[in-house]
Each structure stands twice: as C-alpha cells, then as structure tokens.
Amino acid sequence: MSQKKSRSRELLRFFAGPTLLFLTTSLCLSSLAAQPAATPIPLLKAGQTVDWWFVFKFNAESFPDCGGAAQRSCPFGGAVQPYKSFSQQFAYASSADHTLQHGSGCIGDTTIDPVGATFSQVYKGNFFYVLWNDQFYGDPMSTEAAPAAHSKGLLAWNKDGSGLVLQVSTPSWPASGSSKKPRKTDGNTLGCVKDNDVLVSQHFFSLKLNKDDVVTVLKALANASVVTDPVKPQIVKNGGPADIQALAKGLGNISMSTTATKDALSSGVVLISKPSHLNVPPWQMVSAMLGGVPLRVASWWGRPEIPTTTANTNVTCWDQSLPKPGAVQIAITGTWQGKPIGLEGEPEPNGNHAKIGVSTGGTHSYTIFGDMNQQGSLSGPNCSSSQNGRGGLFFVIDDAPLHGSVQGLIQGDSAPQ
C-alpha cells in the first residue's frame, strides 16, 4: 500500500471518529427525550400499576390490629403509637379486580399494600404535590372549621402534568409530601400518628390522572375551599405546566362560589365539587347532581344528624340551581365476611369515618367516594349548619361489579327518617 493511500485512510478514521460519536450521542439523547417522564400512578403494590383502587379500612371492633402476624412500622416517619385499640386491616378493589377482597398486613405501612405503595412513590420521589386536610392538628397548619372544606387528600403530578389523586378520610394523614420535608412534631405513617385515626373505619381512593384531569381536580379543590398553604413546602411543592402552577398557587383560600361542579375525567370517573357557600345537605346534593338517583350512604353520621330521606321529603335548605334530590338512606350497620360493622359516626371502636355511597335505583351502578359527613340540616333557620356550610369532593364510578361489592359491604340497618 502506498504511503499516500495509508495517510488518506488515517485521516478518514480521524474525522469519522468524532462524527460517529456525535451521531451516536445525538441518537441517544433523542431516545432519552422520547422516553415518557416518570409519573406518579396508583399502585396495588410496588411495581403493580392500576388505573384506580379503593380501600376500606375496618374499625377496631370488627377487625382489630393488623392482618395475620404483621406488625406496625413507620416508614414515612413517626413511632408506633400505644393506641388502646386500632385496626389496620382492610378490604380493597381496583381496576384490576373490581370486587372487594380482604387485604393482608397493615394498611399504609408497607410498599406491598395500595396505600403504602402509592404514597411511598410520592414521599420518596421527586414529584410535585399538594396536600390538603382540615385536621392537620397544627403540623403544618391548624385545624380549620367552616367555611373551610371538610376534605382530605393528596394530588401529585410530574413535569408534564400527569399524575394521581389520593382521597383519604383520615385526620392528620398525610401531612408531608416528601421525605425531604418531614413532619416536625408528629408521625406521617398510619399507626404512627398521635391522633388515633385508625380506631374507626376509614376509606382511601386513588385515581390515575392525565394533565387535563389534574387541572380539573385543582379547580374542584379551589371551588371546595380546601385547607392547604402553597408557601409551606411540607404540603405543597409546585411546578410543571404553567396553568397547573397557577391553580396550585391559588389554593388555600375560601371560595365565594355557590355553584356545585360536575366534571367527567378522562377515565370516565365523575368528579363533583360542593362549595362551602352552597348551604345544602351534602349527600342530597350528590343525588341531585346525579339526576335524582336514590342513594345509600355510610359516612360520619353524628350530631347534628341528617336523617334518612325519601324522594318526597321536603328539603327546604336547598338551592334553585339544583334539581330535586332522590331518596338518601343512611347506613348505620354493614357486613364483611359475616361480621357486623358499625357505620355510625362515633369515636368508638365500632365507629365509621369513611364516606362512601352507592346508588339503589336507576340505570347506573354508581359507587361514590366522598369527603363529607351526613351532618347538617334539611330545613331552616340555620341552613349553613355543620356540613351544609362546608365544601368537599365526590368521585363517582359507574361500575357494576364494584357497586355490587360495596353495596354488600354497607348493607344493613338504616337510620330512621
């Protein structure tokens, strides 16, 4: 080979090397850019994603302690509390299996149960979030009464705006959205919070959201006047799309709205938002918003009690913007695995603080997960009494297997008319 040809090949290799490196790097970067951003999503356990799940935590009298030989732990902060009695046993359903089944272990304490696994990805991750709760008990905010919403939960999203909502009925949990901003004076794990919020029954509901859904949920939260504070990084980490940031920044104020909203999310789940200044009984409002469908409801039923109503009950604490409500039956007992479950609102081992309902007629199989107690007034003079004068959210799923399963759970005795 001549020296001239050899030199030409050396020059080609010299210039081709950087070119090949540039092309390879560009392709790798393009591939990375095409990868979807990590997204918070409902989990049945670590690594097992679903579109939605529902958890019913039993009360201490019906199913005490944890399932099997499981012991409580505090992976999200706090110390195991010496409660006199508690229950972290649970039943759950999801988009993977729409009928309730009994879970195992201690709900909220692991990454192999729906609550613990779903919360862990947010708490130990790097997502944006908003937490709201009218019963933070001073860390990081004081407890707030009317007209603030009687609402509790977590909304988390990624840089593109996709994420999840986690509705809870538990006072004082969750109260921190990140391990980098831990709770200062209390625990942040179920069973590890000074307030015994695992004594009575509670419920949890999580739903996958796209970016438009996150916007819709934020608007519903503002309409309901949820308790949060955008300047407290323990409960709000803002970011992502500009419209989401603006809506999250505006939370924590009392809305003057008197209009209930009803929106269909991308999943088909319907979201209803009751504003505090719409002074009507909450579950009668839900019935009206769903076309007057009759309901059976299990919530915190305590003074001032709203009784069971029929379609002919004269509800004078009402608003002309709403259609007529159907019957609303108040469940005071239910059944699981042959055991009776108390569903009245009382701070006792047989009490219930979950807020769930099912339709009992019509052409739809509605299951409803709500924020609000059935307390207040059907007639004046004080139409803003108790929950009538507060806001909250309701998630409605039209799903026959889930409906039948939840209907069986809360089937039993009813409060009188």
pLDDT tens, residue by residue, 290-338: 999 999 999 999 999 999 999 999 999 999 999 999 999 999 999 999 9
162, pLDDT greater than 50: yes
From residue 128, alpha-carbon distances to 98, 124, 245 in Å are 29, 12, 10
CA distance 246 to 235: 16
State the average pLDDT over residues 243-265: 98
Grade residue 5 by pLDDT with cuts at 50, 70 and 90.
Answer: very low
* CA 303 to centroid of chain Cα atoms: 25
pTM for this predicted structure: 0.91
Other C-beta atoms within 10 Å of 82: how many?
Answer: 7
Grade residue 380 by pLDDT with cuts at 50, 70 and 90.
Answer: confident
Q: Residue 121, SS3? A: helix
360, pLDDT greater than 50: yes
CA distance 131 to 129: 7
Task: List the chain domain ranges.
Answer: 43-409
Query: Which residue's structure tokens are 């613990």?
Result: 116
Phi and psi angles of residue 386, each rounded to the nearest 5 degrees, phi first: 50, -120
Q: Residue 377, SS3? A: coil
CA distance 258 to 274: 8
Of 59, 147, 126, which Cα lies nearest the Cα of 349? 59
Of residues 4 and 180, the one with the higher pLDDT is: 180
28, pLDDT greater than 50: no
CA distance 384 to 293: 24
User: What per-residue confidence (pLDDT) applies to 341?
Assistant: 98
